[in-house]
Amino acid sequence: MAFGVAVRERRLELGLSQEALAHGAGIDRSYMSSVERGGQNVGLVLAAQIARALDVKLADLMSAARL
């Protein structure tokens, strides 16, 4: 759940919609919604895709999530 919160916070900082972020990460919007709610356990590859779409290093996103 912490990863999803960090993703949502960064997305909102950038002024992106879930749909825009999902498109940038190459995943479905409903899946992105589930990630942000903590309903999905994200693997390393997908986490890296999301970080790239958020224009942030994966390590920084993980740190923001305190993981």
pLDDT for position 41: 87
pLDDT digits (tens, 9 = 90+) for 11-64: 999 999 999 999 999 999 999 999 999 998 899 999 999 999 999 999 999 999
pLDDT for position 18: 96
| Contact between residue 21 and residue 30 where contact means Cβ atoms under 8 Å apart | no
pLDDT for position 32: 95
Question: How many domains are contained in the chain?
Answer: 1
3-state class of 40 per DSSP? coil
Measured between alpha carbons, how far is 18 from 3 in angstroms, rounded to an integer? 15
Range of the domain at 7: 2-64
Q: How many CA atoms lie within 13 A of 66 on its CB side?
A: 3
Q: Which is it for the CA torsion 19, 55, 8, 62, positive or negative?
A: positive
* CATH number, residue 48: 1.10.260.40
